[in-house]
Amino acid sequence: EPEVTQTPSHQVTQMGQEVILRCVPISNHLYFYWYRQILGQKVEFLVSFYNNEISEKSEIFDDQFSVERPDGSNFTLKIRSTKLEDSAMYFCASSEDQGYTGELFFGEGSRLTVL
């Protein structure tokens, strides 16, 4: 069964360092997303991406964050200068379509720990 894969599964970094989280969406999907989940809290929307541009972003997704689809298979989330409060599980998701037929498939997440 096709799945969304994410790397790394866990990354530990020092505050102020740049981090890139990588995702390989399901191959025929066109819509891509990043969500995050701070430990013990609910999953929060960060950004959606379609046709090589951001469709929507939340207030969390400030100038420290960026997304990119560098090639035909990867979708990355970059945090330019990490803060302690960026520590969370980051989930990538993809969907084939939008709306009622646009089921999101989530990866298993990348845990980011900022020290």
List of residues contacting other proteins (CB under 8 A) = 4, 31, 33, 35, 41-45, 48, 55-56, 91, 93, 95, 98-100, 102-109
Pick between residue 65 and residue 109 the one whose CB is nearest to other proteins: 109
CB of 4 to other proteins, least distance (A): 8
Residue in 28, 18, 8, 13 with CA at minimum distance from that of residue 92: 8
Q: CA dihedral defined by 110, 65, 25, 101, rounded to 10 degrees?
A: 110
| C-beta atoms surrounding 67 within 10 Å | 22
* C-beta closer to other proteins: residue 8 or 102: 102
CA 44 – CA 70 distance, rounded (Å) = 24
Q: Which is nearer to other proteins, 16 or 102 (CB)?
A: 102
Closest contact distance (angstroms) between CB of 66 and other proteins is: 19
Q: Give the span between the Cα atoms of 58 and 44, in whole angstroms.
A: 9
